[in-house]
Amino acid sequence: MNNSTVSMTGVRGLIATVFSRYGIYVALFLIGLVLSIASPFFLTVTNILNILNQVSIIGIIAVGSTIVLISGGLDLSAGAIVAVAGVAGAHFAHPGEYPLIVPILVGILTGAGIGLFNGVVVAKGKIPPFIVTLGTMTAGRGLALLLVGGMQVINLSDEFVSLANTRVLGAVPILIFFFAGICLLFWFVTTRMRFGRHIYAVGGNENAAHVSGLNVDRIKITVYALAGALAGLGGLLLASRTVVGSPIAGAGYELDAIAAAVIGGTSTTGGLGRVTGTIIGALLIQVISNGLDMLNVPSYYQQIVKGLIIILAVYMDMRSKNKR
């Protein structure tokens, strides 16, 4: 009798765990299945590669948003960083001026610098991250426009353009490899490194982390700087892909990135989340908009659908966690 209760609990607990942890995978699978039936063009190698190509840049940025959210923070400046880093990188990417490494470093370091600023102000100034990054988001947009006098940076070198437009073996977009590499790296950082543990501890309970001897400020600052670097990389790749450094690029990317993280199970209150979840979250958004495109649904509807999915995902997540 006692045994049966225990095993019942076990089974129910298992289902609850599987659902809360893998529900998003199931959702992606089901949506993929529906779209495969609805459109003959969905489940083709070309289309799948296309989806992966399109998800890569936003996915890289979303990995940054994920670690910021896990640490108990929030980064609204990612889209602005995309623009600043994109024009800064592109500025050094005219043909015959600098070796390719220069624009790459400039883009990434610009992003890291803005992220560092976010982190220092949040950690040392004790100002809520929402306010700080709202500020850098606004200022960053202005900075991007100022840097190029409101113009676009054009005339980019072939090497720079090929950075995001090469197809490996003539078929697989190189962006997918960038995305995969970043995911692998940050999966490793969050699950296999001491620093990763520290991010979860700080986000889960900052006071407890401090009293346990962690340098909370340094951890937060590093996390924002890393997220900035990832947004910078994203901006650089976007400039390469679109063959232009645009000061208005990346508008709304910060929200798409946060949406991907949150749909993937990252908590907006910190301490919980996974890089793998964010990959799936980003894919889910992309697959849905790709599918709706194929079914000729106007993009206005797509936005509505995306918004509702964000709310639904968080609702499901809360339900599975706060069962009373």
Partner 1 sequence: MSGDLLLRMTGISKQFPGVQALDKVGFELRAGEVHVLMGENGAGKSTLMKILAGMHLADEGTIEIDGSEVRSESPRDALSNGISMIHQELSAVPHMSVAENIFLGREPYSGTIGRMLGVVDRSKLRADTVSVLSSIGVTIDPGMMMSELSVAEMQMVEIAKATSYNSSIIIMDEPTSAISDAEVERLFTLIESLKNGGRGIVYISHKMDEIYRVSDRITVLRDGKYIATAETSQIKRSELIQMMVGREITDIFPKVEAQIGDVLLEVRDLTVRGVFRNVSFSVRRGEILGVAGLMGAGRTEVVETLFGVRTPTSGEILMDGRPISTSSPAESIRRGIGFVSEDRKEIGLVLKRSVKENVSLVELRSFCDGPFLNRKRERRSVGDSIRSLRIKTPSSEQVVRNLSGGNQQKVVVAKWLLANPDLLIMDEPTRGIDVGAKAEIHRLISELAQQGKAIIMVSSEMPEIIGMSDRVVVMHEGRITGEIDRNALSQEAVMHMATDHVEQGGSQ
Cβ-contact 190, 67 below 8 angstroms: yes
Closest CA to 111 of 205, 19, 230: 230
Burial of 1 (0-12, 13-18, 19+ CB in 10 A): exposed
- In angstroms, what is the minimal distance from the CB of 243 to partner 1? 39
Give the integer Cα–Cα distance in Å for 76 and 164. 25
Stretch that binds partner 1, among 55-63, 188-196, 230-238, 291-299 (CB under 8 A): 188-196
Single-letter code of the amino acid located at 92: F
Give the integer Cα–Cα distance in Å for 56 and 243. 17
Stretch that binds partner 1, among 59-67, 84-92, 131-139, 212-220 (CB under 8 A): 212-220
185: contact with partner 1 by CB under 8 A: no
Give the integer Cα–Cα distance in Å for 282 and 280. 5
The string of DSSP letters for 252-315 reads THHHHHHHHHHHTT--TTSS---HHHHHHHHHHHHHHHHHHHHTT--HHHHHHHHHHHHHHHHH
13: contact with partner 1 by CB under 8 A: yes
Burial of 105 (0-12, 13-18, 19+ CB in 10 A): middle
126: contact with partner 1 by CB under 8 A: no
- In angstroms, what is the minimal distance from the CB of 170 to partner 1? 37
Give the integer Cα–Cα distance in Å for 179 and 51. 13
Stretch that binds partner 1, among 3-11, 130-138, 144-152, 225-233 (CB under 8 A): 3-11
- In angstroms, what is the minimal distance from the CB of 70 to partner 1? 11
| Residues paired with 172 in a beta bridge | 168
In the list 192, 308, 318, 319, the residue contacting partner 1 (rule: CB under 8 A) is: 192
Query: Between 260 and 299, how does the x/- string for binding to partner 1 read (CB under 8 A)?
Result: -------x---xx---------------------------
207: contact with partner 1 by CB under 8 A: yes
211: contact with partner 1 by CB under 8 A: yes
**Closer to partner 1 at the Cβ: 225 or 237?**
225
In the list 45, 101, 194, 298, the residue contacting partner 1 (rule: CB under 8 A) is: 194
Closest CA to 197 of 22, 71, 68: 71
In the list 193, 251, 311, 318, the residue contacting partner 1 (rule: CB under 8 A) is: 193
**Closer to partner 1 at the Cβ: 177 or 188?**
188
215: contact with partner 1 by CB under 8 A: yes
Instruction: Return the half-sphere exposure (C-beta side, CA atoms, 13 A cut-off) of residue 252.
Output: 2
**Closer to partner 1 at the Cβ: 159 or 192?**
192
In the list 7, 9, 155, 268, the residue contacting partner 1 (rule: CB under 8 A) is: 9
- In angstroms, what is the minimal distance from the CB of 217 to partner 1? 10
Token digits of residue 75: 């980064």
Instruction: Return the half-sphere exposure (C-beta side, CA atoms, 13 A cut-off) of residue 297.
Output: 17
Token digits of residue 295: 């079914």
List residues binding partner 1 (CB under 8 A).
5-6, 9-10, 12-13, 16-17, 192-198, 200-201, 204-205, 207-215, 267, 271-272, 323-324
